[in-house]
Structure 1
Amino acid sequence: MSKHRLFIFLLTFVAFISGLSLVSAQREIPALVKKVKPAVVVIYTYDSNGELLGQGSGFFVNAKGDVITNIHVLLGAYRGEVKTSQGESYFIKGVIGQDIEGDLVKIVLDISDKTFPYLRVCTSLPEDGERVVVIGHPLGLEQTVSDGIVSVVRYAPPLGQVIQITAPISPGSSGSPVVNMDGDVVGVVALMLGKGQSLNFAIPGEKIVNLKPRKIQALQEWTTVTGDEWLESAKGLFFSGLSILWEEDYEGALPYFEEAIKKNPDFAEAHYWLGWAYSMLGRHKEAIKVLKESIR
């Protein structure tokens, strides 16, 4: 065989293999979603008058039906309920584990004699460039699927170590599982930075495994005690500001971001969103000054 023909053969072979890999990858995601979706839930929270307070995402971590979500999803709730992908709803009985710094909480539901599909949690960090899938309930759209890659694992005060992903997320995605191509949870969606939906962050799965068991605490009692502690922290102030900003109350969000920065001057995300709020209010000089702080 001539060198020219050999080159053409090798080129064709490589293209063929690449095509098979692409087709295989395209087929993997639907199968993965089918496997993961039954364990993903939407969480609704209500105030003392029974009015809807907010919503977020979560997922089952064991057959008993214990659910993982973010602390900020439950704050201020008088009561809450979880809705499964099968349309079944269960009231939240209480909290049995939390990590204030990691913005994670484990809740137990008011159920008995029932088993649930659940997700395994991976304790090792994903690799940069690793493909991941997020299933959650952004903007009230239940069971929404997005995919992307791990951009990098970085340290981001005051959140600690976080996983930066490109999979799009939006308000309501908080608490969603970030799973690898084996269907194991590598992280929990915590926040997004910017509306380009490419700077999104998740808390590593290791923090789920390290949640210390605690005596069950009723949701109303827990949110009262934890809420005070949370709102005094830079992270709590930041998430409070975000929730107000997502309602397009830019003026109302300003003091929360400003106070968060006072407590932690290196909080880049708080600088960024403060700048964004200033920009939306037409206060461009202040916005530029603050945004410079977010990238220094």
Structure 2
Amino acid sequence: MAVGLVGGISLTGWLVWGGRGKPVAAEEVQPPFPPPPGSRFFGAPVGAVPPAAAKHDGISNLEESPELAEFTPEERVHIWVYELCNRSVVHITTKSIREGALLLFAVEIPAEGEGSGVVLDRNGHILTNCHVVEDAQEIQVTLFNGKSYAGRLVGQDRVTDVAVLRIEAPPEELFPVMFGDSNRLRVGQRVYAIGNPFGFERTLTTGIISSLNRTLPSRSQARTIKNVIQIDAAINPGNSGGPLLDT
């Protein structure tokens, strides 16, 4: 489940920011097969998220899935995390116009960008980083099934680098991410990131939590972002806005 939004990098590892607080109920998303025995699934997308986080109950005692019997216990956990959460991750592409100069003349230069995001609900709300969609004239959101929809910016906070989009997609195509409680995180804990680095959609990387409660200057330098989670998972351009997940 998601515990923060992937947002930035430091010299010692990638930094993500997550909400703090107790989980609250959310729309239930059924995994394609039962989790490995003994799994506990708390999780949430990485980036600044509201204090409330959703949890998924009643899965830790399910029997082992036959589909995963040939894999090691560690591999089963990796596979289950991906299969449970990847449908909640979207690929965001943008088009914008930037001002430039050609000789002595000011010109407008078309620019394209991309990043990741997570489905918040079946009403089409998408959570991502503000810098992914900032100043975009056109936003396209591609779901797990390859279908793309025009995205509309409904809110953003440049200080904490968070934005919410909305798409007009059928509810049956939307799989809301399950949010966890970042208060449960521990240094050394295994975490996962799913995103679209360099445009390679639905890429899974894994690592550990290197440190907790870091602080990070906001992009506007107007304030400090607190409760930043430092991780060592491989993160590249295109991962921004995607979820950080735990088990």
Task: Assess same fold via TM > 0.5.
Answer: yes
Does residue 1:170 correspond to 2:228, yes or no?
no
Kept in 1, the 8 Å contact 2:91–2:201? The answer is yes
Measured after TM superposition, the shift of residue 115 of structure 1 is 5.1
Structure 1 counterpart of 2:206: 147
Structure 2 counterpart of 1:41: 90
Aligned partners of 2:192, 2:125: CA distance in 1, in Å? 22
Aligned partners of 2:130, 2:153: CA distance in 1, in Å? 13
Does residue 1:92 correspond to 2:151, yes or no?
yes
Structure 1 counterpart of 2:174: 116
Kept in 1, the 8 Å contact 2:153–2:163? The answer is no
% identity of equivalent residues: 31
Measured after TM superposition, the shift of residue 112 of structure 1 is 5.6
User: Given the superposition, is the C-alpha separation of residues 129 and 41 from structure 1 closer, same or farther in structure 2, using an over 3 Å criterion?
Assistant: same
User: Given the superposition, is the C-alpha separation of residues 142 and 50 from structure 1 closer, same or farther in structure 2, using an over 3 Å criterion?
Assistant: farther
Measured after TM superposition, the shift of residue 121 of structure 1 is 1.6
* Counterparts of residues 126-137 of structure 1 (less than 5 Å): 126-137=185-196
- Answer with 120-129 or 63-72: which moved more: 120-129
Unaligned runs of 5+ in 2: 1-70, 98-107, 218-224
Aligned match for 1:73, one of 111, 116, 132: 132
Normalising to structure 2: TM-score of the pair? 0.59
Measured after TM superposition, the shift of residue 114 of structure 1 is 5.0
CA-to-partner distance for each residue in 1:83-116, whole Å, 9 max, x for gaps?
Answer: 0111000101231x33333211111113466551
Q: Which has the larger radius of gyration?
A: 1
Structure 2 counterpart of 1:55: 114
Aligned residue identity for 2:237: P
Aligned partners of 1:89, 1:174: CA distance in 2, in Å? 19
SS in 2 for 1:127: coil
CA-to-partner distance for each residue in 1:183-218, whole Å, 9 max, x for gaps?
Answer: xxxxxxxxxxxxxxxxxxxxxxxxxxxxxxxxxxxx
Aligned residue identity for 2:81: L
Coordinate RMSD, CA, aligned: 2.2
User: Given the superposition, is the C-alpha separation of residues 132 and 113 from structure 1 closer, same or farther in structure 2, using an over 3 Å criterion?
Assistant: closer
CA-to-partner distance for each residue in 1:217-265, whole Å, 9 max, x for gaps?
Answer: xxxxxxxxxxxxxxxxxxxxxxxxxxxxxxxxxxxxxxxxxxxxxxxxx
* Structure whose residues are more often helix by fraction: 1
State the number of aligned residues. 159
Structure 2 counterpart of 1:161: 227
Aligned partners of 1:150, 1:113: CA distance in 2, in Å? 34
User: Given the superposition, is the C-alpha separation of residues 100 and 52 from structure 1 closer, same or farther in structure 2, using an over 3 Å criterion?
Assistant: closer
Aligned residue identity for 1:173: N
Aligned residue identity for 2:82: V
Measured after TM superposition, the shift of residue 173 of structure 1 is 0.7
Aligned partners of 1:61, 1:180: CA distance in 2, in Å? 17
Aligned partners of 2:132, 2:208: CA distance in 1, in Å? 25
Aligned partners of 2:109, 2:179: CA distance in 1, in Å? 34
Kept in 2, the 8 Å contact 1:56–1:73? The answer is yes
Aligned partners of 1:142, 1:115: CA distance in 2, in Å? 17
SS in 1 for 2:85: helix
User: Given the superposition, is the C-alpha separation of residues 50 and 166 from structure 1 closer, same or farther in structure 2, using an over 3 Å criterion?
Assistant: same
Structure 2 counterpart of 1:190: none
Structure 2 counterpart of 1:265: none
Kept in 1, the 8 Å contact 2:194–2:244? The answer is yes
